[in-house]
């Protein structure tokens, strides 16, 4: 087959059709097809499968580059034993994305510093990218600053719309946003715009009862929490800091201090008081 066609012209045609994998592989597959007597349908299927696989690889590579995920934060090295009440099976189900990302549902991770919230968030994000979803990981304060600049340049609406291309927006360390009217208003607008349309994953060191430190007034706090928890899964990772456990383990032989506790809620219709400390 390969000896009876104009290879140079075929290369040009494949360039025009934007089929780089087929352009690279067709001669190799043609020789094998001639040698083994493949039917034309098998030859064509083999080329098409490799082209699709290469497109998938390039897409994942591109999405990984834009996601800005922290390095080496994967499920394989996440210490589930340190948060024993978090089900690895449930996390694996969330990593598929089908049951919640297409509905614009949210995932909220609470707990003290060093408990693994950012690691788990990044690991879930990586798994979702490998499944074909688009993800952006960012410190909340960094994104808020960029949105503030966009507002000053009369481009806030367009900036928030550009974030729509991400099926999941991971906002790390939400409570570290300064309680400033300009900052909290753009954050609230982002949350409101994505409500029931696009998903957010939030990590926070403080429960909802402390979110008055973030938003300008109680009404805005209540409205933001209401939108976030309406369709959400909440992980409360109340465990001792991994960094502290590691430091103690270096000083003393044997395993570090075991995790205290962690709870998981699947939230259908949750009120903000459900995650606030009792008074």
Tens-place pLDDT, residues 83-99: 887 889 999 999 999 88
> Is 153 a member of any domain?
yes
* Cα–Cα dist 250/123, whole Å: 26
Question: 53 and 72, same structural domain?
Answer: no
Q: Give yes or no: residues 227 and 119 share one domain.
A: yes
If one compares 84 and 240, the residue with the highest pLDDT of the two is: 84
225 and 98 co-located in one domain: yes
Contact between 133 and 99 (Cβ < 8 Å): no
Mean pLDDT taken over the chain: 84
pLDDT of 11: 86
Q: Give the CA count within 13 Å in the CB-facing half-sphere of 23.
A: 13
Average the pLDDT over 206-226 and give the result.
Answer: 81
- Give the pLDDT of residue 243: 58
Instruction: Write down which residue in 10, 40, 65 finishes a domain.
Output: 65
Do 88 and 199 lie in one domain? The reply is yes
Give pLDDT, residue 238: 80
Q: Which CATH number characterizes residue 197's domain?
A: 3.40.50.300
For residue 256, what pLDDT band results from cuts at 50, 70 and 90? low
Residue 242 in tokens: 């991994």
Does residue 274 carry a pLDDT above 50? no
25 and 83 together in one domain: no
Lowest mean pLDDT among 18-32, 36-50, 67-81, 243-257: 243-257
> CB of 202 within 8 A of CB of 121?
no
Distances (CA, A) of 199 to 95, 159, 183, 205, 249: 13, 17, 21, 20, 38
Residue 172 falls within a domain, yes or no?
yes
Residue 3 pLDDT exceeds 70: no
Asked if 147 and 186 sit in the same domain, the reply is: yes
- Boundary of a domain, candidates 13, 36, 65: 65
- For residue 207, being part of any structural domain is answered with yes
To the nearest whole percent, how much of the chain has pLDDT over 70?
Answer: 82
pLDDT, residue 117, reads 94
**35-66, pLDDT tens digit by residue?**
999 999 999 999 999 999 999 899 999 999 99
Length of the chain as a residue count: 279
pTM to 2 decimal places: 0.76
pLDDT at 178: 62
pLDDT band at 220 (very low <50, low <70, confident <90, very high): confident
Q: Are residues 43 and 135 in the same domain?
A: no
**DSSP assignment letter at 172:** E
147 and 38 in a single domain? The answer is no
Q: In this structure, are 75 and 182 located in the same domain?
A: yes
Instruction: Please report which confidence band the pLDDT of residue 6 belongs to, taking 50, 70 and 90 as the band edges.
Output: confident
* Burial zone of 162 (CB within 10 Å; 0-12 exposed, 13-18 middle, 19+ buried): exposed
Q: Considering its fold, how many domains does the chain have in total?
A: 2
Given 65, 87, 112, the domain boundary residue is: 65
Which residue range(s) make up the domain with 14? 2-65
Q: Which residue has the higher pLDDT, 2 or 68?
A: 68
Clarify whether residues 56 and 6 are in a common domain: yes
Q: What is the pLDDT of residue 216?
A: 67
Same domain, 186 and 72: yes
Does residue 55 sit in the same domain as residue 101? no
User: Is residue 142 situated within a structural domain?
Assistant: yes
Q: Per-residue pLDDT for 218 more than 90?
A: no
Task: Give the rounded percent of residues in the chain with a pLDDT score beyond 90.
Answer: 54
For residue 253, what pLDDT is reported?
A: 57
* 278 in a structural domain: no
């Amino acid at each position: 087959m390969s000896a009876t066609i104009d290879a140079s012209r075929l290369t040009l045609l494949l360039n025009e059709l934007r089929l780089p994998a087929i352009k690279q592989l067709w001669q190799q597959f043609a020789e094998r097809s001639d040698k083994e007597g493949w039917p034309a349908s098998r030859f064509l299927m083999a080329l098409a499968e490799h082209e699709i696989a290469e497109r998938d690889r390039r897409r994942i590579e591109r999405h990984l580059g834009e996601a800005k995920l922290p390095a080496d934060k994967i499920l394989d090295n996440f210490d589930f034993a340190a948060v024993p009440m978090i089900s690895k099976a449930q996390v694996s189900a969330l990593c598929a994305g089908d049951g919640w990302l297409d509905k614009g549902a949210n995932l909220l991770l609470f707990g003290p510093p060093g408990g693994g919230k950012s690691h788990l968030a990044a690991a879930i994000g990586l798994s979702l990218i490998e499944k074909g979803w688009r993800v952006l990981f960012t410190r909340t304060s960094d994104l808020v600053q960029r949105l503030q600049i966009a507002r000053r340049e009369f481009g806030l609406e367009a900036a928030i719309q550009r974030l729509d291309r991400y099926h999941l927006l991971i906002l790390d360390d939400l409570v570290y946003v300064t309680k400033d009217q300009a900052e909290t208003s753009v954050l609230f607008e982002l949350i409101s715009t994505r409500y029931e349309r696009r998903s957010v994953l939030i990590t926070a060191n403080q429960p909802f009862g402390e979110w008055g430190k973030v938003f300008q007034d109680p009404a805005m706090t209540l409205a933001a929490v209401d939108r976030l928890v309406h369709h959400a899964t909440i992980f409360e990772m109340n465990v001792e800091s991994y960094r502290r456990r590691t430091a103690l383990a270096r000083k003393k032989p044997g395993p570090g201090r075991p995790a205290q506790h962690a709870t998981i809620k699947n939230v259908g219709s949750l009120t903000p008081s459900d995650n606030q400390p009792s008074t």
